């Protein structure tokens, strides 16, 4: 696929013949979003990979949807700018995929997610019409916010063919520290108190006990086997600015019975401190033949409750769940580890997922903070959204895609 016009022709044809069309970026989506569940045409957008414009004075970048996240990062770096969402899959995933899933990452707490940066879109609608939304201006309140309607729509409403993104100057200085806590309660309180201190760290990550133990069993990092580990980064334009924030955060740690607090003195030190967090995914990915990486999200004050709840679910369902994630925005990744060829374990995994979703909703949170609904979470949409909201979503889908050709079967929109 190379242009909106080509896509428009394909959609016109597919619409008239009622053939499903599934837009696809890099296929890194974690909830079966780009899976052609009902057959049809998979529209691979990776060839539309041009960065069309970078305008520093307008503070924006205009890209085609197949541009890989890391390629935009590379193009912005010489200008001292960046596009902050920073998903962990950034070397692979596409910006079109980021828009369609409203991707986020470790910097979510301070810098928000993709939705906060999309200024304008070009979209091909299911009937083949080509539409522009938004504007190049940083501010705009003109009409309904159609841009945001498409952000996070998981390819169910239109095919995004051009994206205008707001970009940020990258604060050049960062400081990093790590704290461990024997008691989860203390870690949870520390997270809440950081918010009270008025500081928003650029990164605030948490690793739970099972994740730490798994890392120790598979790598030579010799981590203390505690209930929780918090990794924090503050950033700024001057060293003083970053240090000032870090001092406050470390003060909070020290008030909450940490087992240990380590502050990086150099970039090399910082890399050492990041090692545990960075290795978590790969370590957990190797323990069993299969895993599900969830991304339930709760209000920040409830992070400790969520972690405790996950452990109870793990015990109750008799299945291994290791958790890590973004404490700074309440978005945790419980990784359920199981053997996909053992029907009993599959059942336990499914039961544990269902429990997790219920727990997150009970804590005032959401099924998914960044990975999206897709196929795997579709059955749980009703847990989070009331019947009126579901009805409105389905009505929007019907107006734009009356023949249900775009990514059908996803997000529980089929009724």
Partner 1 sequence: MEAKYEFEKKFREQILQCSRCGFCQAVCPVYGATLRPGLNARGKMLILKEIMDNKLDLSDELIETLFQCTTCASCFENCPSGVNVPEIIRQVRKDMVHIGSCHPAFKGMNEVLKKHPNIYAENEAEDFDREKNRKAEYVFFVGCVGLYREDESTEATLELLDRLGVDYTLIDEVCCSGVLEDVGYRINESLAGKNIERILATGAKTVITGCPYCYRTFNNKPQYEELREKGVEVVHVSQFLKDFEFGVRTDKRVTYHDPCDLGRHCGIYEEPRETIRKIAPDFVEMRHNHVDSLCCGAGGGVRGAFAKNSIAMARRRLEEAEEVGAEVVLTDCNSRVHNLANAKLRRQKFRIYNTTQFINELLDQAER
Ligand X SMILES: Cc1cc2nc3c(=O)[nH]c(=O)nc-3n(C[C@H](O)[C@H](O)[C@H](O)COP(=O)(O)OP(=O)(O)OC[C@H]3O[C@@H](n4cnc5c(N)ncnc54)[C@H](O)[C@@H]3O)c2cc1C
Binding site for ligand X (CB under 6 A): 22-30, 33-34, 45, 65, 87-89, 93-94, 96-98, 100-101, 103-105, 154-155, 159-160, 370-371, 407
282 binds, among partner 1, ligand X, none (CB under 5 to 8 A by kind): partner 1
Per-residue contact string for residues 89-128; x = within reach of partner 1 by CB under 8 A: x-xxx-----------------------------------
In the complex, least distance from residue 107 CB atom to partner 1, rounded to whole angstroms: 20
Binding of partner 1 by 47 (CB under 8 A): yes
* Residue of the chain from 6, 12, 19, 27 that contacts partner 1 (CB under 8 A): 27
Show contacts with partner 1 in window 215-254 (CB under 8 A): none
Residue 244 phi/psi, 5-degree rounding, is -55, -45
In the complex, least distance from residue 50 CB atom to partner 1, rounded to whole angstroms: 13
- Residue 61: beta bridge partners? 54, 165
In the complex, least distance from residue 28 CB atom to partner 1, rounded to whole angstroms: 5
In the complex, least distance from residue 292 CB atom to ligand X, rounded to whole angstroms: 12
Which one, 96 or 258, has the nearer CB to ligand X? 96
Which one, 130 or 351, has the nearer CB to ligand X? 130
- Of the candidates 358, 352, 368, the residue with the CA atom closest to the CA atom of residue 296: 368
Binding of partner 1 by 44 (CB under 8 A): yes
Which one, 278 or 315, has the nearer CB to ligand X? 278
Binding of partner 1 by 324 (CB under 8 A): no
103 binds, among partner 1, ligand X, none (CB under 5 to 8 A by kind): ligand X
In the complex, least distance from residue 44 CB atom to partner 1, rounded to whole angstroms: 7
* Residue of the chain from 37, 41, 51, 70 that contacts partner 1 (CB under 8 A): 70
Binding of partner 1 by 340 (CB under 8 A): yes
Which one, 238 or 289, has the nearer CB to ligand X? 289
Show contacts with partner 1 in window 269-298 (CB under 8 A): 281-282, 285-286, 289-291
Binding site for partner 1 (CB under 8 A): 26-28, 44, 46-47, 49, 68, 70, 89, 91-93, 281-282, 285-286, 289-291, 340-341
């Amino acid at each position: 696929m190379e242009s909106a016009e080509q896509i428009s022709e394909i959609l016109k044809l597919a619409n008239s013949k009622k053939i499903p069309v599934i837009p696809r970026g890099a296929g890194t989506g974690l909830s079966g979003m780009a899976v052609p569940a009902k057959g049809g045409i998979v529209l691979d957008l990776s060839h539309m990979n041009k960065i069309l414009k970078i305008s520093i004075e307008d503070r924006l970048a205009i890209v085609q949807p197949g541009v890989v996240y890391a390629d935009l990062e590379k193009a912005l770096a010489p200008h001292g700018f960046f596009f902050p969402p920073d998903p962990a899959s950034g070397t692979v995933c596409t910006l079109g995929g980021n828009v369609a899933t409203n991707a986020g990452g470790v910097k979510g707490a301070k810098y928000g997610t993709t939705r906060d940066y999309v200024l304008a879109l070009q979209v091909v609608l299911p009937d083949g019409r080509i539409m522009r939304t938004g504007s190049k201006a940083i501010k705009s309140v003109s009409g309904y916010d159609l841009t945001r309607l498409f952000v996070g729509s998981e390819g169910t409403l239109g095919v995004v063919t051009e994206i205008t993104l707001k970009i940020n100057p990258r604060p050049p200085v960062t400081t990093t520290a790590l704290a461990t806590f024997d008691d989860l309660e203390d870690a949870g309180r520390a997270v809440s108190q950081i918010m009270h201190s008025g500081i928003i760290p650029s990164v605030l990550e948490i690793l739970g006990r099972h994740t730490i133990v798994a890392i120790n069993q598979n790598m030579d990092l010799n981590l203390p086997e505690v209930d929780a580990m918090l990794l924090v980064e503050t950033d700024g334009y001057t060293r003083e600015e970053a240090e000032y924030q870090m001092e406050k955060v470390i003060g909070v740690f020290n008030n909450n019975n940490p087992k240990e607090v380590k502050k990086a003195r150099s970039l090399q030190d910082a890399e050492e401190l990041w090692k545990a967090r960075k290795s978590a995914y790969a370590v957990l990915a190797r323990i069993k033949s299969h895993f599900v990486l969830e991304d339930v999200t709760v209000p920040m004050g409830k992070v400790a409750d969520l972690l405790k709840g996950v452990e109870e679910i793990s015990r109750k369902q008799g299945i291994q769940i290791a958790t890590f994630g973004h404490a700074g925005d309440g978005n945790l990744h419980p990784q359920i580890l199981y053997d996909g060829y053992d029907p009993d374990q599959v059942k336990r995994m499914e039961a544990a997922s269902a429990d997790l979703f219920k727990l997150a909703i009970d804590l005032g949170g959401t099924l998914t903070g960044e990975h999206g609904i897709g196929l795997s979470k579709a059955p749980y949409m009703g847990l989070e959204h009331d019947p009126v909201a579901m009805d409105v979503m389905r009505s929007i889908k019907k107006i734009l895609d009356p023949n249900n050709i775009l990514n059908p079967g996803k997000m529980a929109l089929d009724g």
